Amino acid sequence: MRAILTLNSGSSSLKLGLFSEGLETLALGHVDRIGRREAAMKLSGADGSPLPLPASAPDDFATNAAALHTALAAFQSAFPGLEVIAVGHRIVHGGIDHAAPERLSEPLMKELAKLAPFAPLHQPHNLAGVRAAVDTFPGTPQVACYDTAFHRGHPFVSDTFALPRRYYEKGVRRYGFHGLSYDFINGELTRTEPELHKGRVIVAHLGSGASMCAIENGQSVTSTMGFSALEGLPMGTRPGELDPGILLYMMDQEGMSASEISSLLYKESGLLGMSGISNDMRTLEGSDDPRAKEAIDYFCFRIKRQIGAMAAAMGGLDGIVFTGGIGENSARVRAQACDGLGFLGVGVDAAANAENAREIGAGEVRVLVIPTNEEIVIARAAKGVLDL
């Protein structure tokens, strides 16, 4: 059986997708906590039901490459005769120049490696995933899909910081991320809501990482994430928007090094830091600790604030789409983020919202819940680029 494999290789996780040549989902896989003893793999078939896991040895998830081999062995036993004809990769950063998916080559790998300082916690792991796939499938074409690509058409005011111009020239810009998710939602709107797609839509991708994107007539016009995946909304362990004076304070007064600040910003802040309980929204929603409520309140307030800002940026609003683990499942967050936005024509129907219905709006502005699917965007791109 010929199939397209998609890989999303992170620092301690690996997400895989297996698709037929006709782009039907065959299987999805997720390995968590790579390199730790508690590492675990979940595999599911086309209908979401779990696929049997092979008996695993202690080293099976020691590295991303080992995790890839373990997951592939499981796919191979589930799909005898499996032949991977293309591999598509999620690459967090395409820099200034890469605005569309493209076939990976050694020179391109070198160029993408140079962007690692822009995304030190993601880019090297993404590229390590490409290396592992090249070693595993020598000669099989590999395609890069960039999380920044969807936003490359931003107007200058959404692309820049008010720093001396030389930094802009060096690439210190507002890139925006989660582009594969926005691409998917945009495609769903084109297919199922052609009128709304022509209008002004805010998409809130709320998962462990969270961002929002204003999309006008199918084009990203501004996004909450900027130079790095730290900007904008608070997230599971990242703070979102911060006064840069705080970083100066931490360096000068607390004597923190760059790596200590990096750890604070990427791993200790956000919902986890504020609540002191968990980075996981489900856990916070289930807690009666007042700090959990405060963390959720802050998260929802920042979303609401951005809805107002993005509506202003687009000169009005026709729709809001919630997606990502929290956006798709948390009625509380959706209701609280939209609460009080009646002046914009935004309302939420409590019963539809409680059921995670697709259409939850109760005002002039459409409010939709659409599950995202970044893997299918990568698979489509691989098929398209390679003309399969």
- Residues catalogued as catalytic: 147
CB of 385 to ligand ADP, least distance (A): 24
Least separation in angstroms between CB 282 and ligand ADP:
4
Closer CB to ligand ADP, residue 8 or residue 222? Answer: 8
Question: What distance in Å separates the CA atoms of residue 269 and residue 104, rounded to the nearest whole number?
Answer: 35
Q: Least distance in Å: CB of 79 to ligand ADP?
A: 25
Residue 275 token pair:
């609540």
Phi, psi dihedral angles at 248 (to 5 degrees): -65, -45
Q: Which is nearer to ligand ADP, 104 or 326 (CB)?
A: 326
Check the annotation: does 324 bind a ligand: no
Instruction: Give me the residue whose beta carbon is nearest to ligand ADP.
Output: 325
CB of 283 to ligand ADP, least distance (A): 7
- Whether residue 327 is annotated as binding a ligand: the answer is yes
Kindly tell me which of 211 and 220 has the beta carbon lying closer to ligand ADP.
211
- What is the rounded CA–CA span in Å between residue 123 and residue 11? 9
Cβ atoms 377, 26 nearer than 8 A: no
| DSSP codes joined into one string, 264-292 | IIIII-HHHHHHSS-S-HHHHHT---HHH
Q: In this complex, which beta carbon is closest to ligand ADP, that of residue 202 or of residue 296?
A: 296
315 labelled binding-site residue: no
8 is an annotated ligand-binding site residue: yes
* Nearest to ligand ADP of 10, 101 (CB atom): 10
State how far the Cα of 203 lies from the Cα of 185, in Å rounded to an integer. Answer: 8
The DSSP bridge partners found for residue 214 are 202, 222
Q: How far apart are CA 299 and CA 269, in angstroms?
A: 12
Q: For residues 90 and 155, is the Cβ–Cβ distance under 8 A?
A: no
Of the pair 199, 240, the CB lying nearest ligand ADP is at 240
Smallest gap, in angstroms, from Cβ of residue 184 to ligand ADP?
A: 13
Annotated binding residue 206 = yes
Residues in contact with ligand ADP by the rule CB under 6 A: 207-209, 236, 280-282, 285, 324-326, 329-330
The token pair at 80 is 């005898």
Is 176 known to sit in a ligand binding site? no
Identify whether the C-beta of residue 324 lies closer than 8 Å to the C-beta of residue 212. Answer: no
Q: What are phi and psi of 351, to 5 degrees?
A: -70, -45
15 belongs to an annotated ligand binding site: yes
Shortest spacing between CB 187 and ligand ADP, in angstroms: 18
Tokens, residue 300: 């929802």
Cα dihedral across residues 242, 245, 250, 253: positive or negative: negative
**Residue 211: which residues within 8 A CB-CB, separation 6 or more?**
176, 177, 178, 205, 223, 224, 225, 229, 232, 233
Q: Which residues are annotated as a binding site for substrate?
A: 90
Residue set of the binding site for Mg(2+): 8, 374
Binding site as annotated, residues for ATP: 15, 205-209, 280-282, 325-329
Residues of each annotated binding site: 8, 15, 90, 205-209, 280-282, 325-329, 374
